[in-house]
Amino acid sequence: MTDLEISQKAKLEKINVIAEKIGLTEDDYEQYGKYKAKVNLDVLERNADKKDGKLILVTAITPTPPGEGKSTVTVGLTQALNKFGYKSIAALREPSLGPVFGMKGGATGGGMSQVVPMEEINLHFTGDLHAISAAHNLISTCIDNHINHGNELDIDVNNITWKRVLDMNDRALRNIVIGLGGKINGIPRESSFQITVASEIMAIFCLAESITDLKNRIGEIVFGYNRKGEILKVKQLNVQGAAASLLKEAIKPNLVQTLENTPVFIHGGPFANIAHGCNSVLATKTALKLSDYVVTEAGFGADLGAEKFLDIKARKANLEPNVIVLVATVRALKHHGSNMDGNKDSIETLKKGMTNLEKHIENMQKYNVPLVVAINKFVTDTDEEIEEITKFCNKKGVEAALCEIWEKGGEGGKELVEKVMDAIEKNEKSKVKFSPLYDEKLPIKEKIEIICREIYGADGVKFMPKALNNIKKYTENGYDKLPICISKTQKSLSDNSNLLGRPEGFEVTINEVRLSAGAGFLVAMAGEIIDMPGLPKKTSAELIDIDDNGVITGLF
């Protein structure tokens, strides 16, 4: 059975039943169909004095292109926690249509560990990504409209950093010229579209703590420069109120359920390279008030998603992760051991690949948060392979748990639950407290260097002239105290996607630094990072169909 077929056979509970399980009354949420709801923001306010639940962060080793099942483990773990007597909510990101129609498919887990209704969450859900696109493009439109009607702000058309967005893998929109066809059709200039999940509005949406915070952050966005080289903010266009109004409903966290009828928040979904890669602060915080254990996920490998979760989201939102679950698979470790010269399917290849896991373990240990490795079992994995990984982890002082949640759902996460609970308990006693990797008050270059050396294992960082100029400008304008969001390949710990395992003896090259003043971080561009993916020759879109009863097939 495909994931979609499993999900369509699931016995869903009505969303009001799910809401009731976490103590919500009818006035606390808005139903969106029978199986989706949006939870009102005052639930968080009203529970302000209530003690937070424990926060479990799920991350992974450097992934292969199809991913290592981080979402599946996140969903499986929350199912397992509930099954074994611990009240738990999962907090996930919303899927983007780009991957849905591209190579990767949906983002609601897999096998017996899925969030449902799968097709609705993947295809339209409650329209949040669309609302974010509209808010983003309203600003874009108003920039060109301002230029067209006299350009009072003296916007430099060659120095507008704000693009347009679409939630689609549309390669042909990466480099465009707009405003052609004479004066009444705008002013010609080069521009670009990003995918919506790369929008700064998405990052802001996921870091905002209230509607007013959302609006103020949108106002603080730097969209470009005037011809004197001075920064220009969205509030100078005076459309932050309209942009925030477009997000009035979207900003409320979405409540859905797993195949085992346990509650899940799915809300916001910024890219894990150009942005910080985790669901909204509002969803995480609301979930922490409504349950004892919140399982959340950060995008790509731990060098990208977890680092940003810990150094940006957790720091900014004052969150304290109680345990980190690092997902590893035999497939990915072999990939790292093969060093790309074929798929050597041997225990030796696996052992060689273990260096990647090793580095991620060491990285996570730098944050003073206890760690458990979750071995996400594929049906082809042998006992010997699993044992090899377990032994390796134990040697590094870390517990490893075999996860059969893809095959068995929550039941398959028994060992993981036990080891996660042990780790939390031990940590409670030890009084070692989570701390971010670097002090955000350090100079920009220094912060970038710390991440590259400590997390990626680089010997050093090479700053290109453009990056140095950017850094100078941001420092002059008082934007130097922001945390760093490094945008680099997810395929390697380094900035070179060909370097598998645990690369050493390399330098990271920073080409450019971008300012996300509304989100509150600086994006350091390590290599060519595409903020608008493309589709493969054979798209997933061609497999998808719908019948007259609205039943969808072919989505994965």
Catalytic residues, by residue number, are 70, 72, 93, 104, 272, 300, 378, 406
Q: Where are the beta strands (DSSP E) in 329-470?
A: 371-376, 399-403, 460-463
Q: Which of 185, 382, 394, 498 binds a second copy (CB under 8 A)?
A: 185
68 is in an annotated binding site: yes
Give the x/- contact pattern for a second copy in 486-525, rule: CB under 8 A. ----------------------------------------
Count Cα neighbours of 212 within 13 Å in the Cβ-side half-sphere.
Answer: 0
| Among 359, 303, 358, 357, residue whose Cα is nearest residue 330 | 357
Across the strands, what pairs with 476?
Answer: none
Q: How far is the CB of 46 from a second copy (least distance, A)?
A: 13
Q: Does 1 bind a second copy (CB under 8 A)?
A: no
Contacts of 330 (CB under 8 A, 6+ apart): 350, 375, 378, 380, 381, 385, 386, 389
* Positions in 523-552 near a second copy (CB under 8 A): 534-537, 539, 541-542, 544-550, 552
Q: Closer to a second copy at the Cβ: 318 or 549? A: 549
* Positions in 396-425 near a second copy (CB under 8 A): none
Q: Closer to a second copy at the Cβ: 143 or 310? A: 143
* Positions in 121-180 near a second copy (CB under 8 A): 123-124, 126-127, 130-131, 133-134, 137-138, 140-142, 144-145, 148-150, 164, 166-180
Does the bond joining 117 to the residue before it have cis omega, within 30 degrees of 0? yes
Q: Closer to a second copy at the Cβ: 148 or 339? A: 148
SS3 409: helix
* Positions in 231-270 near a second copy (CB under 8 A): 237-239, 241-242, 244-246, 248-250
With residue 430 as reference, give the H or E element that holds it: helix 414-430
70 is in an annotated binding site: yes
Tokens 């630094």 found at:
513
66 is in an annotated binding site: yes
Could you tell me which stretch among 27-35, 107-115, 356-364, 470-478 binds a second copy (CB under 8 A)?
27-35
Order of strands across the sheet that contains 484-487: 460-463, 507-516, 521-526, 484-487
* Positions in 95-124 near a second copy (CB under 8 A): 97, 101, 119-120, 123-124
List the structure tokens of 33.
């169909």
Q: How far is the CB of 155 from a second copy (least distance, A)?
A: 13
337 is in an annotated binding site: no
Q: Closer to a second copy at the Cβ: 192 or 339? A: 192
533 is in an annotated binding site: no
Query: What is the spatial distance between Cα 207 and Cα 282, in angstroms, rounded to a whole number?
Result: 8
Q: How far is the CB of 264 from a second copy (least distance, A)?
A: 19
Q: Closer to a second copy at the Cβ: 34 or 426? A: 34
Query: What is the spatial distance between Cα 506 and Cα 495, in angstroms, rounded to a whole number?
Result: 9
* Positions in 188-227 near a second copy (CB under 8 A): 210-212, 215
Contacts of 102 (CB under 8 A, 6+ apart): 169, 533, 534, 535, 536, 539, 540
Provide DSSP, 113-175. Answer: EEEESHHHHHHTTTSHHHHHHHHHHHHHHHHHHHHHTT-TT-EEEEEE---EEESS--GGGSS
Q: Does 94 bind a second copy (CB under 8 A)?
A: no
Q: Closer to a second copy at the Cβ: 35 or 300? A: 35
Q: Does 34 bind a second copy (CB under 8 A)?
A: yes
Binding residues for ATP: 64-71
Q: Which residues are annotated binding-site positions? A: 64-71
